Amino acid sequence: MKPVIGLTSYRQRGQTGVWDTEMAMLPAFYLEGVTRAGGIAVILPPQQVDSEDARNLLAGLDGLVITGGRDVEAARYGHESHEKAEKPDRLRDLLEDELITAAIQMKLPFLGICRGAQMLNVNRGGTLIQHLPDVVGDNRYLQGGGNFAHMQMSVREGSLLSSIVGEQVDNAALYHHQAIDEPGEGVQVVAYSPDGIVQAVEVEGHPFGLAVQWHPEQTLEDLRLFEALIAAAKVGD
C-alpha cells in the first residue's frame, strides 16, 4: 500500500477559469516529488486547528511535508519584524506549528523544505536570521524573479541526512532571504552552505524528523529525500 503524505500549502488569491478568488494552492513540483517517490499526496490548506485536531489529522497520514512559502512571523520567536520581512500568514503559521508539535510527539516521519526548516526551528524555541543580506552582504540566496541559486552543501557525517545524500550536496536549489539562527531545543544542525549559513537540521531522537533549507522539489531528477521520507512512512505504517 502506498503511504499517504500530507503537504502544507498556501492560502492566497489565485485564478482559475472565470474566478479570481482566495484559494488553497501548492506548486505541483511538491506533489510530483511525493508521487514519483511512491507516495500519495494530500494537500493540507491553512486552517484553524488545536493540538487535538492536529493529532487527529496526522493519525490519518503516514508522513508529512512542511513546504516552502512566506516568512514565519517574527513575533513567534520573540523578535520585532524586519522591514524586509513579508506579511505573515498567521493561519498557516498556526497550522504548521501544531502539526510539527504533533508529528514530533507521534514520531511521524516528516520533511521540512525551506520555510519548513525555519518553522521547525521556531517551533522548538529557536530563532531566525530575518534578512540574510544583513549577514552575508548580498542577495546570493534570493536572486529574485523565481530564479533559484545553486550551491554545494556540506553535510555532517553520521547524520540522518548523510545516510540519504552523503556528505555533500552538489546542486542544492535555494530561494530564501531568511535562515536558521539559534537552533531550538533538540534541533541538530547537519548541513551548511560554504559561507556557514545553516542549511539542514534534524530533530534529536526522532526516527525521521528532517528539514532542509533548499528546495529538493526543484531538482526532481534526484528524488533521494522524497524516497527516504516514503521509506520511513512505510516503516511506520
Measured CA to CA, the distance from residue 121 to residue 108 in angstroms comes to 17
Measured CA to CA, the distance from residue 39 to residue 146 in angstroms comes to 27
Choose the catalytic residue: 73, 114, 177, 202: 114
Which residues have CB under 8 Å from 231's CB, separation 6+?
A: none
* Catalytic status, residue 114: yes
* Catalytic status, residue 206: no
* Catalytic status, residue 217: yes
Active site residues: 114, 215, 217
